[in-house]
């Protein structure tokens, strides 16, 4: 994926030319296999240095290299991705405050998505009063150097992380990546319904990680793969799924059918009540638009479960 489109690059560069302004983040980048998230507000004139908020745990304001992020290679042939649906009008100082007090950028995103700015301020005031963050630490005073959002993002360099959780050798990673590419080519050239084991195998080597990820395989009229897209990344036990975005992408891609896939990092692929309710909601919406939802596959630690096979679809 191209991490920055020309339009996004121009917005970031324009923000970079306007100093001492509390910009809202323009771009959200994330590690599809881990907790790393980057919110970028500005891009330096060199076209490489991004300013904003970043971190795998409690985030720190600072800057990082766009080239380094693009060069990160993760297991299973994956790389750093851009959240295609991210949009925010909330200043980066509020993001930083919310992320520090809740413990992560992802937790802050959930807070900011459901509250007005007034409610956010009240909630953060409550947290500052002594509530514990998710990491179990009490919120403390913010150092003076970190109180000015126009300055704080330029003094702490955040290096693109090496994936510490990668346990595969270079040779094993190459084998898995090649298997993934072979399966993808097979699905591009053949109807998926006539090669269901290939679908399951593709999902098994693609949709994995330490957090839940929601993918959709978009298919054409002959049930051949148009594209596989990761539409959401969540936490260790939850991923937000928005039916409207699933259908919007299907229509934009001129897809006729789709297969939903998500993983359970804990290893048990048994569907939850929320999984079943979400599947039924999207199936109903697909039917009203003339689309077909073939299946919802849940990837576990050592096996995959098909909701259609279970009779839940």
Give the separation between CA 243 and CA 239, rounded to whole angstroms.
13
Res 144: pLDDT = 31
Give the pairing of strands 60-65 and 81-82. unpaired
End-to-end CA distance of the chain: 32
Res 131: pLDDT = 39
Give the separation between CA 24 and CA 53, rounded to whole angstroms.
11
Give the separation between CA 141 and CA 147, rounded to whole angstroms.
10
Res 143: pLDDT = 34
Give the separation between CA 67 and CA 280, rounded to whole angstroms.
42
Beta-carbon contacts of 30 under 8 Å, excluding residues fewer than 6 positions away, are: 36, 37, 38, 80, 81, 82, 83, 233
Domains of the chain by residue range:
6-152, 170-306
Q: Are 158 and 62 in contact (CB under 8 A)?
A: yes
Give the pairing of strands 257-263 and 225-233. unpaired
Q: Are 122 and 139 in contact (CB under 8 A)?
A: no
Q: Are 289 and 248 in contact (CB under 8 A)?
A: no
The CATH number of 170-306 is 3.40.140.10
Query: pLDDT means per 10 residues in the chain (313 residues)?
Result: 86 88 89 79 89 72 83 78 86 83 75 60 48 36 34 44 49 62 62 69 81 92 88 87 90 93 89 90 91 93 85 85
Res 79: pLDDT = 83
């Amino acid at each position: 994926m191209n991490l920055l489109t020309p339009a996004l690059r121009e917005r970031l560069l324009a923000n970079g030319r306007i100093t001492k302004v509390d910009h809202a983040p323009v771009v959200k980048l994330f590690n599809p296999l881990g907790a790393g998230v980057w919110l970028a507000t500005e891009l330096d004139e060199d076209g490489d240095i991004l300013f904003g908020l970043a971190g795998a745990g409690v985030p720190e304001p600072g800057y990082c290299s766009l080239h380094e992020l693009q060069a990160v290679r993760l297991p299973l042939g994956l790389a750093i991705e851009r959240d295609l649906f991210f949009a925010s009008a909330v200043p980066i100082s509020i993001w930083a405050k919310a992320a520090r007090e809740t413990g992560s950028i992802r937790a802050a995103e959930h807070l900011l998505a459901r509250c007005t700015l007034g409610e956010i301020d009240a909630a953060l005031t409550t947290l500052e009063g002594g509530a514990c963050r998710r990491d179990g630490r009490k919120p403390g005073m913010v150092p003076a150097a970190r109180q000015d959002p126009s300055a704080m993002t330029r003094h702490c360099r955040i290096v693109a992380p090496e994936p510490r959780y990668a346990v595969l050798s270079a040779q094993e990673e190459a084998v898995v990546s090649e298997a993934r590419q072979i399966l993808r080519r097979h699905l591009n050239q053949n109807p998926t319904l006539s090669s269901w084991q290939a679908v399951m195998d593709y999902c098994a080597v693609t949709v994995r990680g330490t957090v839940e990820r929601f993918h959709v395989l978009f298919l054409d009229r002959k049930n051949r793969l148009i594209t596989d897209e990761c539409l959401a990344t969540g936490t260790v036990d939850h991923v937000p799924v928005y039916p409207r975005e699933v259908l919007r992408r299907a229509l934009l891609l001129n897809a006729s059918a789709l297969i939903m896939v998500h993983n359970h990092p804990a290893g048990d692929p048994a569907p939850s009540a929320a999984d079943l309710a979400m599947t039924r909601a999207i199936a109903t919406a697909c039917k009203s638009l003339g689309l077909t939802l073939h299946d919802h596959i849940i990837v576990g630690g050592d096996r995959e479960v098909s909701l259609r096979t279970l009779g839940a679809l």
